[in-house]
Chains A and B, each alone.
Chain A
Amino acid sequence: MTAIQSANVRRAFKRNLEGYLFASPCLVGFLILTLGAMLFSLFLSFAEWDAQSPLKEISFVGFNNYREMFFEDELFYKSLYNTAYYTFFSVPLRVTIALLLAVLLNQKVRGITVFRTIFYLPSIVVGAATAVVWSWILNPSYGILNLTLHKINLFLDKIYLGFINVPEPTWLESEFWSKPALIIMSVWGLGSSMLIYLAGLQGVPDHLYEVADLDGASSLRKFWNITVPMITPTIFFNLIVSVIGAFQVFTQVYVITVGHTGGPNNSTLVYVLYLYRKAFDELQMGYACALAWVLFVMILLFTMLILRSSALWVYYEGERR
């Protein structure tokens, strides 16, 4: 090797070393806290352990955990159902209402920032504290929600429409209404989605609307044929983020259910809550890891589904149909 060649090799080595050095926190973190953790979690899912006994007492049980989960565990399916129910209702509600709100808040009226703040604020305040607030709002006898429904019922009676009976559910104490209660609470927190829509809306070129105005398009038409198509990338993003978040809902459910169990007949036992119970209440680490991996696979499949479908409905500017 000539002197120049060896100098180049040295320089390249130094360059690579530098790059790795700067990136090392992330790489080390990834290897230990992500890859290492994932492998260990996968390994544990085939074993039984209570995390208290020494490591050598981890007993390898093969597919036992998975077999038990899929064939013997009622609560697994219950928690899956609860999470699916929650996701199925809260995500579309959040995605659409946030969009409608964003359109409304995109108007150039005076004081619009005040209104935007009002809708955004709930999404950033402590999840635990707002769950406490909602537990009182949803109180069957004294919470503002049922008080209002009661007033509506009284009003209907007064104007002789008493046969219309607005239900006054017992919300978190009722097996049927507890999940809707959670969904209502989650819709209240759609501020961050709304903000993302706002940013997306501001990227829609004005000239499209101007041309539509020239052709005499109504507001509804403009919304449906201009705004929505141009916004589909943002909708796509919000959809994926909301779904991934909804599958993993934990904090609010944990705080709001009395005793942190599953609610009336386990109706609010969401998947991650069940996982938490298995791991930290019942100390079944192996089973909990298996649960975690099943969740991971489900989220992956769902995300890929949405991704695949996106080719059909997401319109990126600059693409030809």
Chain B
Amino acid sequence: MRRIVSRVVVYALLILLSVAFSIPFLWSVSASLKSLDQVFKAGVWIPMPIRWTNYKHVFDNIPFHLFFVNSFVVTVACLIGQLSSASLVAFSFARLRWFGRDFWFVVMLSTMMLPAVVTMIPHFVFFNYIGWIDTFKPLIVPSFLGGGAFNIFLLRQFFKTIPLDLEDAARIDGCSSFRVFLQIMVPLAKPALATIAVLSFIGQWNNFIEPLIYLHAYRKFTVAIGISMFKDAYGMFPHYMMAASIIALLPILVLFFAAQRYFVSGIVLTGIKG
């Protein structure tokens, strides 16, 4: 009997809290399907009639096709850079022995603690000096230079769990380090790479301040910047604003549902629990 009561309580709490938590989403979806006069009326949840045309209007007036392509290009390019770069570096930290290796590993780790703003302005100055402002290059190229301390850390930990025997066997057969890396380490590291890919995709897609300072022409805007710029223009039209937000959110939602387990496994891989 006690078990049933506690079950009911748990379910009740869960349902109550999740409804409360989902209200922002639900409300914005509801608002996105309303007409202008309806959206300013209180307490209407299900719009009557449902105006799917709001979405069409948003697509016609906000160049989302541009924003999506831009975001996609930048994010995928960063992904490639981060995956290739971080795995090479992590391999070096995990499996190769060289003078100063552990020192540089600690140094690399400590950069995780650095607030981005400290290097933001010099980066801007530098990229301005070499004429890369208003291109995607400042957003993409840094990903190829190391691929992110967190990713290197994750991959290094993962590489360290791969048995030495495999590598030893390969080396005895005369494998170079690069072949060991490419043909043994990388294939075995697919779960870790997948996790990094997913987390990195989200991080880049949501990235705001860098596109903000590097991209000037609106045709180059990413989704994050684009939606912010159009908030100002659409302040008077909440229903269009909400529709635009929903559109901006969709790719991440799709990614999440397609790749759910990689989100959780990322946490596990870092061994955060203790």
Contact = CB atoms under 8 A, between A and B. Distances in A.
B249 to A, nearest CB: 5
Interface string B27-41: 110010000000110
A83 to B, nearest CB: 12
A77 B10 CA distance: 45
Contacts of B213: 276, 280
Interface in A258-306: 258-259, 272, 275-276, 279-280, 285, 288-289, 292-293, 295-296, 299-300, 303
A140 interface: no
Interface stretch (A32-40, A161-169, A175-183, A221-229): A32-40
A125 B253 contact: yes
A124 B266 CA distance: 14
Contact of B114 (A25, A122, A195, A296): A296
A150 B129 CA distance: 55
Contacts of A109: 7, 10-11, 14
A118 B260 CA distance: 13
Given A30-B146, A122-B21, A292-B120, A147 B273 contact: no
B25 to A, nearest CB: 8
A118 B21 contact: yes
Contacts of B209: 250-251, 276
Interface of A: 15-16, 18-23, 25-30, 32-34, 36-38, 40-41, 44, 51, 55, 101, 104-105, 107, 109, 112, 115, 117-122, 124-137, 139, 142, 144, 147, 150-151, 188, 195-196, 198-200, 202-203, 233-234, 237, 244, 247-248, 250-251, 254-255, 258-259, 272, 275-276, 279-280, 285, 288-289, 292-293, 295-296, 299-300, 303, 316-317
Interface of B: 7, 10-11, 13-14, 17-18, 21-25, 27-28, 31, 39-40, 42-43, 85, 88-89, 91-93, 96-99, 101, 104, 107-108, 111, 113-126, 128-129, 142, 144-147, 152, 177, 181, 202, 205-206, 208-209, 212-213, 223-225, 227-228, 231-232, 235, 238, 241-242, 244-245, 248-249, 252-253, 256, 260, 263-264, 267-268, 272-274
